[in-house]
Amino acid sequence: MSGQKPSNVDQKDWNALQQNLQSVSAGGISASELATADPNKLGNDPKMEMVWAEKAFKHAETYLKLLDVIKDKKKLRLSGADDDIYKEFRKVFPKLNIAILSDSFKSSPANIKKWRPLLMKYEKNSKVKDYNMGTLLRKDVSKGIDADNTIIVSRICFLCIEIARNREGLNK
C-alpha cells in the first residue's frame, strides 16, 4: 500500500499499517523472498501453502483495519497506479456489480477473456508490487472476512475491485 497519509490518520498508525502490508511474513519466508525464489528449489513443501494463507489473511485483516481508520475512502490510495487501474477496470467492466460479486465474476468464459488482458497489463508495472500474489477478496462489501465471504484472487484483481469500491463509495 502506498500513497499519502490521510490527514485524519495518526502518523504512528499509518506507519504501522504500511509496514504490516509491505513486510508480512510467516514461517520465516517473506513475500519478497518468495517472489525471487527459484520454484524448483522450493519443491512441494506443505509449509508454503500455510505461509501464503497467513500472509493473505494478514493482508486482508490489515486492509479492513485501514478501512476502519480512513474516513474518506474515495481518497485512499492502494498503489501508485490507482487512477489507471480504476479507469482500465471500468472501461473493461463498466457494469460489473462490485458490491456483491457473483461466483462467476472472474470465471465465466466471457469474463476470463476480459480479465486476462487487463491483469497482464500490470505484469511489468513497477507501481503495482506483487501484482499476481494471491490475495483474499470479500465477495460482499458489507461483510467481513470469513470462509463464506472471501475468494482468492490476484493482487491486481483485488486492486481493481477495491479501488472501485472505494471510489464508488461502497466501502463504508
For residues 105 and 158, state if they share a domain: yes
Of 35 and 75, the structure prediction assigns the larger pLDDT to 75
What are 122's three cell numbers? 500490470
- Confidence at residue 24, expressed as pLDDT on a 0 to 100 scale: 42
User: Among residues 23, 56, 73, which one ends one of the domains?
Assistant: 73
Report whether 126 contacts 78 (CB < 8 A). no
- Confidence at residue 167, expressed as pLDDT on a 0 to 100 scale: 96
pLDDT tens, position by position, 21-36 = 554 444 455 555 655 6
> Domain for residue 67, yes or no?
yes
Q: 168 Cβ partners below 8 Å, 6+ apart? A: 98
For residues 160 and 109, state if they share a domain: yes
* Total structural domains within the chain: 2
Identify the domain containing residue 53 by its residue range.
11-73
Give the pLDDT mean for 95-121.
Answer: 90
pLDDT tier at 12, thresholds 50, 70, 90:
confident
For residues 109 and 155, state if they share a domain: yes
C-alpha separations of 33 from 16, 17, 100, 146 in Å: 21, 21, 34, 28
- Confidence at residue 5, expressed as pLDDT on a 0 to 100 scale: 61
- Confidence at residue 40, expressed as pLDDT on a 0 to 100 scale: 62
For residues 86 and 132, state if they share a domain: yes
Reply yes or no on whether the pLDDT at 83 is more than 90: yes
> Domain for residue 64, yes or no?
yes
Of 155 and 125, the structure prediction assigns the larger pLDDT to 155
- Confidence at residue 26, expressed as pLDDT on a 0 to 100 scale: 40
Reply yes or no on whether the pLDDT at 109 is more than 50: yes
Q: Grid cell 486476462 — which residue?
A: 116
User: Among residues 73, 88, 110, which one ends one of the domains?
Assistant: 73
Q: Grid cell 456483491 — which residue?
A: 100
Give the pLDDT mean for 125-143.
Answer: 84
For residues 23 and 93, state if they share a domain: no
For residues 69 and 94, state if they share a domain: no
Tell me, what CATH number does 95's domain have?
1.10.3560.10
> Domain for residue 111, yes or no?
yes
> Domain for residue 172, yes or no?
no
Cα separation of 84 and 81, whole Å? Answer: 5
Q: Is 67 exposed, middle or buried (0-12, 13-18, 19+ CB in 10 A)?
A: middle
Cα separation of 95 and 157, whole Å? Answer: 16
Question: Which segment of 12-16, 31-35, 151-155 scores lowest on mean pLDDT?
Answer: 31-35
